[in-house]
Amino acid sequence: MNFTIEYQNTPFLKTCRVKKDINRLNYRCEMLLTRNSHAIRNKRVLDLASHDGLFTYACLKLGAQYVVGVEPRSNLVSDANENLKSLGCTETQYKFVIDDAFDYLSEVEEEQFDTILCFGFFYHIKNQTELLDLITDIKPRYLILDTFVEDFQLPEAELHGIRRRETKKIAGYMVFYHEDQDFDMASFGSSNLVGMPNKSLVESLLLDYGFKFKQINWNDEDVIDRGEIKDYKKQTRVSYIAETVDS
């Protein structure tokens, strides 16, 4: 595969704390951004949990008008600033803010961004509905969501056990964990309790928040796994391009 954005020879291979195998980074960029470039080109993009700037950089390469990255870890924001500078990105086209995504989102004005990226973040929080409340208040045209999902299967008997008379159907469930915040890819802040939703809960939430969405198909023939993207192939990690439906 010829990748439009190639992470080989970029500083992200050093600074990225998430799985940084080159094939994985290139495919994540290809599947999440390049193949959805209509949601990036000439758009004002908000990159939540921007880490070391790897996807902010990709958005600029794909022709975004402007990108804001939000990341609470100041060491990662320093890396992001250095990385984009060393790669020659135009400084007036991007900004990294040291902030918690929830705090930042609550200050954003309606329609300030066309596209919001939520990559590798939805399972590092416990208040997914609050996040979606804040995102939908902004009324972005697009939300691109990339997240691990819980694949733990509740036995049918358990599902019946928790069903109540007024319950029409089970929308999904979430498993809670405590994370070790010493890791730079983990949750940040006063609570280290996080919830990982299962796939049907992610989809129920998108529907409930009024999005029309398409799951990104990592099982396309031309997406070759050499072991680095098997989570996407097995759908323990899933991604969606969601669009706000005009009311």
Ligand X SMILES: C[S@@+](CC[C@H](N)C(=O)[O-])C[C@H]1O[C@@H](n2cnc3c(N)ncnc32)[C@H](O)[C@@H]1O
Which residues, 53 to 72, sit near ligand X by CB under 6 A?
A: 70-72
Contact stretch for ligand X (CB under 6 A) within 4-12, 48-56, 128-136, 153-161: 48-56
Contact 28, 54 (CB under 8 A): no
**In the bound complex, what is the minimum distance in angstroms from residue 78's beta carbon to ligand X?**
13
**In the bound complex, what is the minimum distance in angstroms from residue 66's beta carbon to ligand X?**
18
**In the bound complex, what is the minimum distance in angstroms from residue 27's beta carbon to ligand X?**
12
Contact stretch for ligand X (CB under 6 A) within 4-12, 181-189, 222-230, 236-244: 181-189
What SS3 class is residue 77?
helix
d(CA 8, CA 11): 9
Query: 202: closest CA among 163, 157, 240?
Result: 240
Phi/psi for 200 (5° steps) reads: -70, -30
Q: DSSP assignment, residue 165?
A: T
Contact stretch for ligand X (CB under 6 A) within 1-9, 47-55, 167-175, 204-212: 47-55
Give 19-74 as a DSSP string.
---HHHHHHHHHHHTGGGGGGTTT-EEEEET-TTSHHHHHHHHTT-SEEEEEES-H
Per CB under 6 A, 73 contacts ligand X: yes
**In the bound complex, what is the minimum distance in angstroms from residue 112's beta carbon to ligand X?**
17
Contact 23, 229 (CB under 8 A): yes
**In the bound complex, what is the minimum distance in angstroms from residue 169's beta carbon to ligand X?**
31
Per CB under 6 A, 188 contacts ligand X: yes
**In the bound complex, what is the minimum distance in angstroms from residue 1's beta carbon to ligand X?**
20
* Residue 237 Cα distances to 57, 120, 123, 182, angstroms: 23, 9, 10, 23
Contact 123, 194 (CB under 8 A): yes
Which residues, 89 to 128, sit near ligand X by CB under 6 A?
A: 100-101, 119-121, 124
**Which residue in 5, 62, 64, 76 binds ligand X (CB under 6 A)?**
76
Size of the site for ligand X (CB under 6 A): 20
Binding interface with ligand X (CB under 6 A): 18, 48-49, 51, 70-73, 76, 100-101, 119-121, 124, 184-185, 187-189
